[in-house]
Structure 1
C-alpha cells in the first residue's frame, strides 16, 4: 500500500513512538536529528521527497567545514562584518530523502548553514523569512544584542510553517516562497511544511521541514505538531550540554 501523509491518530502515535524510542539515548543533537528524518521518511516515504532538521547554533560552536561555508556565504553577500562567534546559524543537522546525496548533511551543497546575521539579510531569503514569521518570530529579534531577549524569544517558539503549493505560493514581495523551483518541478513537490520548537536554554530552536508529493491543507500539516514536541523533549539535555554535532 502506498504511504500517505494523510494519517490518522493511530499512525501518528506509531510515528511518535518510533521518534521517542530512536532519540532517547542519542549522544548528540545531530544523531537525534538524523534519526527523526529517517523515521519520517521511512514511515511516510512515498509521500515525502525530503525531510530535514535545522537548529540554531552559534557560529563559534560549528565544525570547521560549517564555519568555512558560512564565512564564504557571508563574504559573498557582504555581511562578513556581522559574523562573530555568537551569530546564530540555522544549521542542517539531519536529512533524508529520495536521493542518496540527500541522506547525509555533509553532502549538502547549499544548505549547510544560514547565518541569521541581520533582519535585512534574512528577509532576502523567502523561505526562511516566511518560516520564522509563521512560527511566531518577527525578524526584529535578530538585530537585538540582548541575549536574554533572544533566549526568551527562541525558547518560546512553537508553530507550523506551511506552504500549500510550492510551485505557486508567493510572499508579500511577490517572490516564490520556495525559490528552488527546479527542485520543486523535478521532484513534483506540492506542499511544504515545517514544525518548530524551542529550548529554554542556549538561544536554540529546531525545525523539521518536510517537502511533500501530496497537497495538504493547513490542518493536516498541523496534525504533525506533536512530532516536534517529542523531539525537543527527548533532546533538551543535549541542547543544555551543547552536545550538538557528532
Structure 2
C-alpha cells in the first residue's frame, strides 16, 4: 500500500514538470476523475484547469460576504440615502483598482467603504420587519391567521422576484452594462424600508399612511433612477444610427423605474 501511494506521488510529481504541489495534486485528481483530460490538454493544462475552477469556487464563496460587509455608519447613511436621495451628488460606485475612465471594470469597494454599493443586510432586515409588522397590523384589527406570515413572505418574494426578472430583461433590451443578479435583488430589496416606514406612520395617524407610502415610493423610484443611470448610460453609445432610439429607450427605462414603484408599494403595504 505504501509503495502504491509513493508510486502515485512520484507519477504526479514527474507529470507536473515543476508545478506547485497543490496544482500537481489537483492535476492528478482531475486525470483520475476525467481520464481524457490529460490527453486533451496535458499535465500543465489539467493543472491550469484545476486552478481556474478553484479560483471560481473561492470567488463564489466570497460573494455573499461582500453584500453583508456593512457597518452601523453605513446602514444609517444608506437608510437616509434611500429615503432622502434628493441632495446626494455622486452616485458612481467606487472601485479598488481598474478605474481608468474608459469604463474598464475594476473591483468594487464593499458597502462599508462606499455608500453607493448595494448590500443585502438592509433588504433582509427590512423584509423580516415587514413580515412581522404586517402580522402585527392584522392582529390589531382582529384579522390575524396562522398562515398570515407565510402568505405575506410569499407575496414579498414573488413581487420582488417578478420585478428582478423584469428589470434584468429591460437592462438587456436597452443594451446596458451587465449587472450582477444580487445587485439587482439588493436594489429592489430597499423598498421594504419605505413600506415599513409607511405602516409605522399609519399607527400615528391613518392619513399619514398613504402620504408616507406614496412619498417613499417616489423616493425609492428616484433612488433607483440615479443609481441605475450609470449602468444604463455609461457605454458612450447612447444614440444609435436610427436617430436616438437607444437613448430614448434608456430614458423610458429610467422613468419606468420611478413609475413602477407606486403600484408595487400599494400592493405590499397594509394600512393600519
Q: TM-score, normalised by structure 1?
A: 0.26
| Greater gyration radius | 2
Q: TM-score, normalised by structure 2?
A: 0.24
| Higher relative contact order (Cα pairs below 8 Å, separated by 6+ residues) | 1
Structure that is richer in helix per residue: 2
Structure that is richer in strand per residue: 1
